[in-house]
Structure 1
Amino acid sequence: MPIEVNTPDELKYQFHPTQGACFTFKVRAPNDAHLALTSQPEEADPIYEIFIGGWSNSKSVIRKNRTKPDVVEVETPGILNAGEFRGFWIRWYDNVITVGREGEAAAFMSYDAPDLFPIAFVGVCTGWGANGTWLLDEAQCAAAPPVAMGFSAPSSFGGPGTWVPASNGEVPPNALEGGVDGSEQIYVARAKYEGALIPGKLVPSHGCVYIPWGGAENPVTEYEVLCGASGTWVPVSGDGIPPNCVPAGESETGEPLFLGRASHDGTVTVGKVQASHGVCYIPYGGEELAYSDYEVFVSQ
């Protein structure tokens, strides 16, 4: 159930614990809905602040350590409303902070934060003449499993599980099964390719991960495998990606990419979902194939 929080016109954060890498909420306010991402329940550095509907509800910003200039500033006229709740999400993954509207997978604000610290609390407040009512949905995240001997330290994943580096067809313990090709199990993996970090399918007998990019099925022998993840595959169409769907990579232009899969020619094949395209791209038979009806992986 959502947690209802009321914030007066005083720019004083009320902090709430969070786990994982996605914070979803609704807020009813005329302007200036402020959020703080911190490692402790206090307004102290290091801190990232997100102001939605500031400057008389005309623009939104991301600010680092309470200093100007703002690291991101976008025009968002009328983004808040004093008479109705407006929903939003904030994600932090792979050292990127993104902010988006409920029902929209693409962010309207994004910031590359190479020194991003562990975020354990989110603070909310209102000010500059505004009171606010918030409905908070604080995502919870399971602890990551230990790293198996013989594999490198895992990289962070914005939900249950970790991305474990591997190569040449290796399958780390607790790898997430994503599909099948004939009698062979396919696993969820990702790899760097052409300046992007792209989800794809690991086919152990082929010794590689296949990445959908540029209209082709591209083999990559060094990759990361999603291990120890818990979640479910949810059917969607077009760009209807659930707000709690955690990104698993990003395009060469910085757009979040999600884990998807589709049925093709008797297989269930893992690929990438790019919300702005409204499809899931899967690698198969040397080609990059697009499906508008597919499944996305939603972590629990």
Structure 2
Amino acid sequence: MPIELQTEDRLEYTFFPNASGLLQFRVRAPNDAHIALSPSASEATPMYEVFIGGWGNSKSVIRKNRTKPDVAEASTPGFLNPDEFRGFWIRWESGLISVGHEGNAAPFLEWRDFEQVPIEYVGVCTGWGATGAWIIEEARGGAPAMGSRGNFSNVCWVAARNGEVPPRAFAGGEDNGEPVYVARANFNGGLIPGKLVASHGTAYVPWGGQENAVPEYEVLCDFPGNWIACSGGNVPPNAVTAGQSEEGEPLYVGRVVHDGSLTVGKVQPSHGVVYIPYGGTELGFQDYEILVQ
């Protein structure tokens, strides 16, 4: 059964257990619907807060540990309404926090924290002149696919290093007869999708115009997905979210044939291309294949 509650203009959270990785709710408020994601039933450190319709119902943010600056923000004028319920979802998985509208798979607010705080409780409140009515869906084990693009709950990344290939690694390409595996790595403040070539003893990620070798990486494993044709920044809603740029933009897995090699790289929607690491450089292609579920 859904949880129905009222919140006063007090900025005091009401907490309830939710370790499912997904919060689905509807809220009726003029502004400032606040949600806390916490490891305990209190305002703890570390913890995250999501403010929807803050600053006079003009923008939404993600905040960590109740301190500024906010780690992510989006312009969201009119997202809340004092006379009708508006539906939203919040998802957290592998340190990625995504916020979106009910019925829309694409998040309007997203940020990755490499600390990966374990979330066990969710709290809600209103303030700054607002009271709220909430309808919160029952927490369920395993989040449905309506969450952020890529449905992280079905994606397995295994840590490896120095050319190691984990069992059941997903091969997304080929170079001179050798499998090229889908990999990702932390690099210059981002989590960047790229390729693993085992014989080279390293993975590679495209960044800053270069093919960058990264000896420590993660490999996509146990993955049943498919590749579909794509162009520009038209990322399909079931694309696999594999990381994010240093500025917080979600990144996806793409591939393209170049110089006789089927090479895996990153899709950066705002640039309208897939970037592949190849021959020491970062190469961009407008037409490519993208990995989907």
TM over 0.5: yes
1:281 to 268, 271, 275: 275
- Cα deviations across residues 68-107 of structure 1 (Å, max 9, x unaligned)? 667458553212245464545444545x6554564546x5
The unaligned stretches of length 5 or more in structure 2 are 144-151
Q: Tell me how large the CA RMSD over aligned residues is.
A: 3.9
Alignment partner for residue 176 of structure 1, among 170, 173, 182? 170
Q: Which residue of structure 2 lines up, in the alignment, with residue 242 of structure 1?
A: 237
Count of aligned pairs between the two proteins:
269
| Stretch moving more, 205-214 or 131-140 | 131-140
Match of 2:225 in 1: 232
Distance 1:116 1:219, change over 3 A: closer
CA contact (8 A) 1:263 1:269 kept: yes
Q: Deviations over 1:44-80 (max 9, x none)?
A: 4233221211354234344455x56674585532122
State the distance in 1 between where 2:63 and 2:268 align. 27
Distance 2:114 2:195 in 1: 28
Distance 2:158 2:234 in 1: 25
Q: Indicate how the Cα distance of structure 1 residues 287 and 114 shifts in structure 2: closer, same or farther if over 3 A, else same.
A: closer
Match for residue 253 of structure 1 among 235, 247, 253: 247
The residue type equivalent to 1:225 in the other structure is E
2: CA distance, partners of 1:9 / 1:221: 48
- What is the deviation of 1:295? 1.6
- Aligned residue for 1:43? 42
Report if the CA contact (8 A) 1:27-1:132 is conserved: yes
Shift of 1:222: 0.9
Q: Secondary structure at the match of 2:132?
A: coil
Change in Cα spacing, 1:131 to 1:70, as seen in structure 2 (3 Å) is: farther
- Quick one: structure 1 residues 228 and 191, their matched pair in 2 at CA, closer, same or farther if it must change by over 3 Å? closer
Match of 1:148 in 2: none
Does the aligned pair in 2 maintain the 1:208–1:219 contact within 8 Å? no
Identity %: 38
Which deviates more from structure 2 when the two are superposed, residues 197-206 or residues 114-123? 114-123
| Compared CA separation, residues 244 and 198, structure 1 to 2 (3 A) | closer
Q: Is the Cα contact below 8 Å between 1:5 and 1:134 reproduced in 2?
A: yes
Q: Which amino acid aligns with 1:187?
A: Y
Matches within 5 A, 1:1-300: 5-10=3-8, 12-19=14-21, 23=22, 25=24, 27-30=26-29, 31-40=31-40, 42-46=41-45, 47-64=47-64, 67=66, 71=70, 74=73, 76-81=76-81, 82-83=83-84, 85-91=86-92, 93=94, 97=97, 99=99, 102=104, 104=106, 108=109, 110=111, 116-124=116-124, 128-134=130-136, 140=142, 159=153, 160-167=155-162, 169-181=163-175, 183-193=177-187, 196-216=190-210, 218-220=211-213, 222-226=215-219, 228-233=221-226, 235=228, 238-242=233-237, 245-248=240-243, 250-262=244-256, 268-284=262-278, 288-298=283-293
Is the Cα–Cα contact under 8 Å of residues 64 and 71 in structure 2 kept in the other structure?
Answer: no
Instruction: Give structure 1 stretches of 5+ with no counterpart.
Output: 142-157
**Cα pair distance change 1:232/1:134, threshold 3 Å:** farther
Classify the secondary structure of the residue corresponding to 1:18.
Answer: coil
CA distance in 2, matches of 1:192, 1:114: 9
TM-score, normalised on structure 2?
A: 0.69
CA contact (8 A) 1:259 1:296 kept: yes
Q: 1:262 and 1:13 mapped to 2: Cα distance?
A: 47
